[in-house]
Structure 1
Amino acid sequence: MHPLLLLAALSSQITFDTVQNGDIYTITPQVTLAQSCVCQVQIRAVRTGNGGQSTSVQRHTVTIPAHQLTALSRLRMTLSPQDNLSITVTVTDGQSLRLSQQWGGTS
């Protein structure tokens, strides 16, 4: 891989800001990119527990400026003691950029 492309890939990342208040979780996926982008964002949340499984998918297009932490969405979930939650965020420009990161939590 070309050194400049490698540097750009390493300086782009998805992170999760997570706040827990009792059994309520607020998860905010955030992205920082090395270059500005009009990107497609997909956020997939899968919650599994005693009541079964539910899946939620959000897709939208967003303009993301370079080198600026940008919130992509805010998810608020109430989790029971046996629930598991998995959130996968994918950001792509449809060409050379494709980032994906997963967050998982249990109450």
Structure 2
Amino acid sequence: MYTMVLLAALTNQIVFDAQQQGSIWTIVPQVMLTQDCECQIQLEAVRKGTSGNSNTRQRSRAHIKGNEPYSVSRLAINVDPGDDLTILVTVSDGKAINLRQQWSPPGIL
């Protein structure tokens, strides 16, 4: 257990805190870096479903402190049965840090 915590603290990563209440998913992408960074952040949410399609893209710059979790955004998205949802987060300083992570609700590829 402690090894997993230590490894998480030693690597740059993007993780997703996702909660479901009925058909609403609340997703909070979080970035953890080993060093301070003036980063460009891009978040894209793509939902395809019977009621229509939506594509949301957010871009921002942020100062992310090393070894402190940084919440990129908070999304609340209605996902009906049969819908496809993909959240993609990209974080880059234009040099050494280039992270990209994708998330979809369980059962959706």
Q: Provide TM-score, normalisation by structure 1.
A: 0.86
Q: Deviations over 1:18-73 (max 9, x none)?
A: 01111111000001001100100000111011134221100000110000111010
Structure 1 CA distance, aligned partners of 2:74 and 2:48? 20
Give the corresponding residue for 1:49: 49
Greater CA deviation, 77-86 or 46-55?
Answer: 46-55
What's the offset of the Cα at 1:80? Answer: 1.1
Determine the C-alpha separation between the residues in 2 that align with 1:15 and 1:23: 22
Alignment of 1:1-107 (within 5 A): 11-105=11-105
Q: Distance in 2 between matches of 1:90 and 1:69?
A: 15
Instruction: Write the distance in 1 (CA, Å) between the matches of 2:32 and 2:68.
Output: 6
Q: Deviations over 1:63-104 (max 9, x none)?
A: 100001110100110111111100000000011210000001
Distance 1:25 1:51 in 2: 17
Counterpart residue number, 2:3? none
Residues of 2 paired with 1:22 and 1:53: CA distance? 20
Aligned to 1:4: none
Q: Secondary structure at the match of 1:77?
A: strand
Gapped runs of 5+ residues in structure 2?
1-6
Aligned residues: 99
In 2, distance between residues paired with 1:20 and 1:50? Answer: 20
Q: What secondary structure does 1:94 align onto?
A: coil
Q: Under a length normalisation based on structure 2, what TM-score does the superposition of the two structures give? A: 0.85
Structure 1 runs of 4+ off > 2 angstroms? none
Q: Deviations over 1:1-26 (max 9, x none)?
A: xxxxxx9xx61000000011111110
